[in-house]
Amino acid sequence: MTIQIERPATTPTLDVVKLGSHIGARIDGVRLSGDLSPEVVARIRAAVLEHKVVFLRGQDHLDDDAQIAFGELLGPLTTAHPTVNTGSARVLSLKATRGMAANSWHTDVTFVDKVPAFSILRGVTIPAYGGSTNWANTATAYDALPPQVKALVDDLWAVHSNDYDYAHSFDTEDRENLQYEREEFTRIIYKTEHPVVRIHPETGERALVLGHFVQHFSGLSSKESTALFNLLQDRVTRLENTIRWSWAEGDVAIWDNRATQHYAVADFDTQPREVRRITVQGDVPVGISGRSSRVIEGSSDLYTRLDELIG
């Protein structure tokens, strides 16, 4: 009689390859899906927390449903966007044919109180040249600040809003389409006051909360806010604190939205470019003093699907 010995399922060989001193790693040996083991998911999460952004090549098998299924392993998802209607309840299509991209440094959706924890971006249509994306580490940027500047920003707060100079972000003459897109983006106005320095809820790191959604610093004039904003943003986006990724179709980037900013480079002329994003729900930022962000205008309940959780 032949005895069948049941062997445990093998765990995929997951390799994390560091790409830069301060930010970025590539994960090899994983086929993303909703069926990954808890151990593999934990290793991916740990890599994102450590390196702030990770990249996976060759994930061509993913469609929207599979991307969502994987994302839900990291936590509950938000809706696609607080204001932009993309036709998908979960997936935001970032599509361009006019050389346009979100070519301004930002952290996703800081104009609401519950800033997303993770963003997962999938390359769908990639131009033959151009269209890369840059990320910056806002935790190492804070660590590198001189003590005198830390003393200034440790208890500083900033008002973030989606009602900002949208057209200024694009070098284009296509103002008619820009106006339509701005009206869609600002059809609901959000304003939230966040700490400039937040405590990361998982790592305990201190990270700067800035980017192009900042309108002004609380208690400072417009001129003072602009000068200080530029000083801090220059620290965030120093080249040594950044990484640049050249996309291929099927690539996936996963980043810690609580400790990064990113910038999509609009250098692909009129070639089509589409990447598709889902976001994992985050919490309300907490400053060094223990005080939490406060809503000034607009509720994030629909975006964070709170209506589904209590309905």
Distance CA 34, CA 279 (A): 15
What CA–CA distance (Å, rounded) separates 237 from 217? Answer: 19
Is residue 234 annotated as part of the catalytic site, yes or no? no
Measured distance CA(91)–CA(199) in Å, rounded: 28
Q: Are strands 25-28 and 53-56 parallel, antiparallel or unpaired?
A: parallel
> Considering 22, 45, 108, 122, which one is annotated as catalytic?
108
Which amino acid would we find at residue 214?
Answer: V
Burial 60-92 (b: 16+ CB within 10 A, else e): eebeeebbbbbbebbeebbbbbbbeebeeebbb
Selecting among 90, 262, 273, 305, the annotated active-site residue is: 262
Catalytic residue, candidates 43, 106, 212, 305: 106
Residue from 45, 122, 194, 277 carrying the catalytic annotation: 277
Active-site annotation holds for 273: no
What is the distance between the alpha carbons of residues 72 and 225, in angstroms, rounded to a whole number? 38
Which residues are within 8 A (CB) of 6 and not within 5 positions of it... i.e. 6 or more apart? none
Clarify whether 28 is annotated catalytic: no
Indicate if 106 belongs to the active site: yes
Would you please indicate which residues are annotated as catalytic (active-site) residues? 106, 108, 262, 277
